[in-house]
């Protein structure tokens, strides 16, 4: 019982901080997407490509979350975009308060869109709202097509599913139609894009979606 109450308190405190973040986004007319996946599905690669492709159209900033290192922030900065690293030192998700502090270090007045790359983890981040306008879950074809069924909460709470690494189809056992069916059963409004951040296949649809999302 005590642990249940403690978890509720943590989530309530997180929601308060998330509200601060959403007020900040509103103040600066910024859209924010929270990007969630297992480690290595391709989040940073997708974000880097997206930033490059939308240069001159959308000004993007990135909050990076990892247990350790600023390796992903260094990769994003190579694109010229503003990025800030949060090291969680063991926690498997980002909290809204951590994101609030990180946002103070981004040039918000110059941005239209902030991506939050959450800690690589298909479970914990789904419980913690960060003040985002939408959630993106990335599933790569190398991870197996049973993931929506096994990790339903993350897929149920997402707005967009990016099925990444479609260049590997044929070399891995991955039934895209199963993933689509299972994910849509959990969330009939989920928008699904099949992409390869390596070859750029399918990415134009994702870019077009983002342009509309930021304008809307």
Binding footprint of ligand GTP on the chain (CB under 6 A): 37, 39-45, 72, 120, 164-165, 167-168, 196-198
Q: How far is the CB of 117 from Mg ion (least distance, A)?
A: 6
Choose the one of Mg ion, ligand GTP, none that binds residue 154, judging by a C-beta under 5 to 8 angstroms depending on kind: none
Among 17, 21, 43, 63, indicate the residue that binds Mg ion (CB under 5 A): 43
Choose the one of ligand GTP, Mg ion, none that binds residue 41, judging by a C-beta under 5 to 8 angstroms depending on kind: ligand GTP
Site for Mg ion contains 121 (CB under 5 A): no
Q: How far is the CB of 81 from ligand GTP (least distance, A)?
A: 15
Q: Determine whether 132 is exposed, middle or buried from the number of CB atoms within 10 Å of its CB (0-12, 13-18, 19+).
A: buried
Residue number closest to Mg ion, CB atom: 44
Task: Quickly list H helices, 28-169.
Answer: 43-53, 71-77, 96-103, 147-150, 152-156
Q: What is the DSSP annotation of 182-202?
A: HHHHH-TT-EEEE--TTT-TT
- C-alpha count within 13 angstroms, C-beta hemisphere, residue 133: 17
Q: How far is the CB of 35 from Mg ion (least distance, A)?
A: 9
Residue whose tokens read 């103040």: 27
CA-wise closest residue to 115 among 56, 165, 49, 197? 49
* Closer CB to ligand GTP, 27 or 74, in the complex: 74
Choose the one of ligand GTP, Mg ion, none that binds residue 198, judging by a C-beta under 5 to 8 angstroms depending on kind: ligand GTP
- d(Cα 43, Cα 120) in Å, to the nearest integer? 9
- d(Cα 118, Cα 81) in Å, to the nearest integer? 17
Q: Which residues pair with 194 in a beta bridge?
A: 163
* Closer CB to ligand GTP, 20 or 70, in the complex: 70
Q: How far is the CB of 71 from Mg ion (least distance, A)?
A: 8
Positions 50 through 109 that interact with Mg ion (CB under 5 A): 72
* Closer CB to ligand GTP, 24 or 98, in the complex: 98
Site for Mg ion contains 194 (CB under 5 A): no
* Closer CB to ligand GTP, 11 or 201, in the complex: 201
Q: Which residues pair with 161 in a beta bridge?
A: 137, 192
Contact positions toward Mg ion, by CB under 5 A?
43-44, 72
């Amino acid at each position: 019982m005590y642990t249940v109450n403690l978890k509720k308190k943590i989530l309530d405190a997180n929601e308060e901080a998330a509200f601060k973040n959403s007020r900040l986004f509103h103040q600066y007319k910024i859209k924010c997407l929270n990007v969630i996946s297992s480690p290595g599905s391709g989040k940073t690669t997708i974000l880097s490509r997206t930033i490059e492709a939308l240069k001159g159209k959308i000004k993007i900033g990135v909050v990076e979350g990892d247990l350790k290192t600023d390796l992903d922030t260094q990769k994003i900065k190579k694109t010229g975009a503003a990025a800030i690293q949060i090291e969680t030192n063991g926690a498997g998700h980002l909290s809204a308060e951590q994101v609030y502090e990180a946002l103070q270090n981004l040039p918000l007045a110059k941005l239209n869109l902030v991506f939050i790359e959450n800690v690589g983890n298909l479970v914990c981040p789904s419980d913690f709202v960060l003040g985002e306008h939408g959630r993106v879950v990335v599933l790569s074809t190398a991870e197996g097509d049973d993931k929506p069924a096994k990790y339903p909460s993350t897929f149920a709470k997402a707005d967009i599913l990016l099925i990444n690494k479609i260049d590997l189809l044929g070399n891995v056992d991955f039934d895209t139609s199963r993933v689509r069916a299972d994910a849509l059963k959990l969330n009939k409004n989920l928008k699904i894009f099949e992409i390869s951040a390596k070859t750029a296949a399918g990415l134009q649809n994702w870019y077009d979606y983002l342009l509309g999302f930021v304008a809307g």
